[in-house]
Amino acid sequence: MNTVATILSAIQVGPYTLENRVIMAPLTRSRAGQGNMPTALNVHYYTQRASAGLIITEATQVSLEGVGYPLTPGIHNAEQVAGWRRVTDSVHAKGGRIFLQLWHVGRISHPSLQPNGALPLAPSEIRPGGQAFTYAGLKDFVTPRALKLAEIPTIVEQFRKSAANALTAGFDGVEIHGANGYLLDQFLRDGTNQRLDAYGGSIKNRVRLVLEVTEAVCSVWGANRVGIRLSPLTAFNDMRDSCPEETFSFAVRELNRFGLAYLHITEMGKDKPGAAGPTFDLIKLRHIWKGPYMTNGGYDLESANAVLAQGAADMVAFGTLFIANPDLPLRFAEHAPLNVPDPETFYGGDEKGYTDYPYLDD
């Protein structure tokens, strides 16, 4: 007789047996130190949450050009690797598992955040609506510079080298950030990709960079320690696609060939159907994908257990609940009250709203 999995059931993901399916979602918190370095405060924050089945770190840039926000960490130099090593050592000492999310923001940046004040990079010269977060406050986004064909292998190499740095830093694996309107997502969707070369036009061409990056990262880690995150429904960062069901179904079919650790689909945008293009039921991607499937999007204990019972996902990533509840798996197990997140302290600052939320046994 098969037992229905719950959010507290163990699961095999690649070479790892995760103790539960309560995954810590990647969460930008803008609390890195000078030089985009992880600090002792970051060590404390992640160690507090080591009881997650898996921690996925905040998005971490693969190059100087990949920076899009103040005080976000990198993984492209030796000092950053050393900083992250302190995080992984501490999480492992508590019995936790931790993957690093690899990130390039593409056009979602500003010259003030770029080397020598250069224009941000993108597949095409299309300025996003909205404003960038900079050290001088909000600034209007600028029209980015389109990457030349000869520059694209450099992007792939930045992801590969940063994946190798993550290995040196002691992570258990990596997640490729292909979501939320950042560089890989910009190549994938036709609202931001109007190239006429081998990386634009057809869906096959638009998915090319995602697949090349995935292949490069897998060459470092082996596919079973690599995940990828996609966001088919979100209009965040001024994103749109003319046929997202076709685009993302094709991408997921192509990604199947790698045998990745998991596919992470965020449901972000489902509350605004059609904002990012024609809407569709994400269960279609679940049926296409042949490996472990992670979902994310405002779940609580009851809804997470329901989506697992329905077979619509294998794991659930929690964001704001993990911000406010460092011992979230225990609170779920005990059906205990949850701390309430404080949105005013989500981005930037010190330990307030970061490492000072109480544990259940406090």
Cα distance between residue 51 and residue 154, in whole Å: 37
CB-count burial class (<10 Å; 0-12, 13-18, 19+) for 20: buried
Among the listed residues 45, 46, 182, 199, the single catalytic one is: 182
Structure tokens at 300: 């609580």
**H or E element: which one contains 202?**
none
For residue 298, which amino acid is it? G
Residue 9 to residue 6: CA distance in whole angstroms: 5
Does residue 112 come out as left (phi exceeding 0), alpha (psi in the -120 to 50 range) or beta? alpha
Q: Give me the sign of the Cα torsion angle 344, 350, 354, 356.
A: negative
Q: How far apart are CA 228 and CA 155, in angstroms?
A: 17
Closest C-alpha to 231, from 303, 317, 292: 317
* Residues ≥6 apart with Cβ < 8 Å to 281: none
| Residue keyed to tokens 């060939």 | 257
Tell me if residue 182 is catalytic.
yes
- Tell me the DSSP string of 284-346: HHHHH--S-EEEESS--HHHHHHHHHTTS-SEEEESHHHHH-TTHHHHHHHT---PPP-GGGS
User: Which among 77, 73, 71 is positioned nearest to 61, based on CA atoms?
Assistant: 73
Active-site residue set = 182
